[in-house]
Amino acid sequence: MARPTSPRPLHLGVDLSDAGAHPAAWRTHGSQAQRLFDAERLQQLVDTAQRGTLDLVVIDDSFSLQPTRTTTLRGRLDAALVAARLAPRSRGIGLVPTVATTHTEPFHVSKAIATIDHVSGGRAGWQLGWSADDDDARDTAHFGRRPAVSEAAAVAEAEEAVRAVAALWDSWEDDAEIRDEATHRFVDRSKLHYVEHDGVHFAVKGPSITPRPPQGRPPVVVRVRSDESFGLAARHADVVRISATTRDEALDLRLRLRAAAVAAGREPGDLRVLADAFAVTGPDEASARARLDLLTELDGVRWDTDSLTHVGTARKLTDTFLDWWEIGAVDGFVVRPSSLHTDLDALVDGVVPMLRTARAFREHYAGPTLRDQLGLARPANRFAAIA
């Protein structure tokens, strides 16, 4: 029986961090552990995700090594630099690095994400990061930042950073570049604007040294992990990542996020809510379960994701996605493959074709930018509006 169709497209992203979401993924056969710091490996993963016309890939980052637990995997490449390298070598798919605000300055963040947006032709996003972690504070002490702060303080600083970064993106109007050889004028300085942000945590004058990004403002991704981050997401996120174990829990979160967005003066339709989905996928449930058992044995600790966790076939995962999406519990999912070398192929070659058959997912990219894939309008420039 054909499933009912919906005018809302289902959105899919994938987290490409480490060797996969399971801590023991790097120890499994075929994980290519020797290539974890090889940018070409990430290029191949992006090519696979792009083949499935996924909306975006997320690359995690932090200022400290991964949590210890029982795994010995340590270290990551700089997410923003990796995204900049991938940008001219990809098409259609959004590139979303995590860039933290707790130990960085808005000027540097705005310039880095704007650069990725320019190099990619409008496919950058920014997963907003912050830290209340002692390890991050200790590891950043060598460049003079303060001790660890509370979650509430870190989120408050992140919210101020988002406002400052958005203003810096707008500090060049879209037509500020003239490039008139005859008059020797490259920019119209009347279309460059001082931000004049003087806040609790940052003082930013501007303007940026990088022209306005092709998307105007690259989409901001916020992961909801606390009451403070919930409020931040409702006020400023374009994409919200939630953790939910059931569709009713996800629906409740989505409805509350949309209501909070309205209370903040936003249009609820401007918010895309994606649930994290941890996936162990196999040709049958027994083989998927056996693979998870092997990962658990290697790690020595039960895998507790505190979110939607799938262990089974691509068909079953497809049905779960459609079930949650059709009732409006989510706008889509960020898939966290247990092992990238196995579960990403299962997503692209197994799940995506079935979603297309159900007319829930695209055959081709909707346009050149990440905002096109997400169905988000390009925002007007705040300074041009008042000029």
Per-residue pLDDT of the chain (387 residues; tens, 9 = 90+): 344 445 689 999 999 988 889 988 888 776 666 677 788 889 999 999 999 999 999 999 876 555 545 455 556 789 999 999 999 999 999 999 999 988 789 999 999 999 999 999 999 999 999 876 655 555 555 455 556 678 899 999 999 999 999 999 999 999 888 877 777 778 888 899 999 888 888 888 889 999 999 999 999 999 999 999 999 999 999 999 999 999 999 999 999 999 999 999 999 999 999 999 999 999 999 999 999 999 999 888 889 999 999 999 999 999 999 999 999 999 999 999 999 999 999 999 999 999 999 999 999 999 999 999 999 999 999 998 665
Q: CA 311, 313, 316, 317: dihedral to nearest 10 degrees?
A: 70
CA 368/CA 48 separation, integer angstroms: 18
Q: Is 180 domain-assigned?
A: no
Residue 172 lies in a domain: no
DSSP letter at 375? T
Give, in order, the Cα–Cα distances in Å from 17 to each of 158, 253, 338, 386.
22, 25, 11, 42
| Residue 118 resides in a domain | yes
Asked if residue 202 is part of any domain, the answer here is no
- Supply the range of the domain harboring residue 141: 11-147+218-379
CA angle 360, 366, 372 (to 5 degrees): 110
How many structural domains is the chain composed of?
1
Q: What 8-state DSSP symbol labels residue 25?
A: G
Residues 6+ apart with CB under 8 A from 141: none
Residues of each annotated binding site for FMN: 61, 98, 226
Long-range contacts of 72-80 (CB under 8 A, 24+ apart): 73/18, 73/19, 73/23, 73/26, 73/36, 75/36, 75/37, 76/17, 76/18, 77/37, 77/39, 77/42, 80/112, 80/113, 80/116
Q: What's the pLDDT at 1?
A: 32
CA distances from 64 to 77, 126, 195, 360, 363 (A): 12, 19, 32, 39, 39
Query: Is 228 among the domain residues?
Result: yes
Gap between the Cα atoms of 95 and 56, Å rounded? 6
Q: Is residue 6 part of a domain?
A: no
Residue 179 falls within a domain, yes or no?
no
The CATH number for 310's domain is: 3.20.20.30
* 208 found inside a domain: no
The binding site consists of 61, 98, 226
